[in-house]
Amino acid sequence: MSTNELHGDSTERRSETRAVDERYYSVQFTTQGLASFYQFKLWNISSKGMCILVKEGSQVLKHLKVGDTIEMTYYLTDSQGAHENMKTQIKHITKNDKGRFQGHYMVGLSIL
């Protein structure tokens, strides 16, 4: 089974221009089957979504699927320790084979 079959179609489907919204800096979550919480810096942030970078081989990837809804804790950029808990859907999981983030997966997030 290919990576695309495991994580859904990796075809880019965004049509809107991505605009930076610096309200959130990072996100933390856990899912069933993971022994601890994982925290990631947010990348490619827009009003309709954002992504995290997950290193290839990370245990987290085995527990995420396109369409999953997870309660995530978002940490605010301008307030030390301030956070908001929000239901978030996994929109895509795309392997990055080239460039700056080679060896990582981009996991698209959408706050519900």
Q: Which residue has the tokens 């999953």?
A: 68
Question: In angstroms, rounded to a whole number, what is the distance separating the alpha carbons of residues 24 and 12?
Answer: 23
Phi, psi of 22 (to 5 degrees): -90, 20
Mean residue pLDDT of the chain comes to 82
**Residue 106 domain flag:** yes
**What pLDDT does 42 receive?**
94
Residue 42 belongs to domain with CATH number:
2.40.10.220
**Residue 12 domain flag:** no
**5-50 pLDDT, tens per residue?**
445 544 444 444 434 457 889 999 999 889 899 999 998 765 656 9
pTM across the whole model: 0.76
**Residue 45 domain flag:** yes
**What pLDDT does 62 receive?**
93
**What pLDDT does 13 receive?**
46
The number of domains in the chain is: 1
Calculate what percentage of the chain has a pLDDT beyond 90: 55
Q: Of 27, 1, 2, which Cα lies nearest the Cα of 94?
A: 2
**Residue 13 domain flag:** no
Where does the chain have alpha helices with state H?
A: 3-7
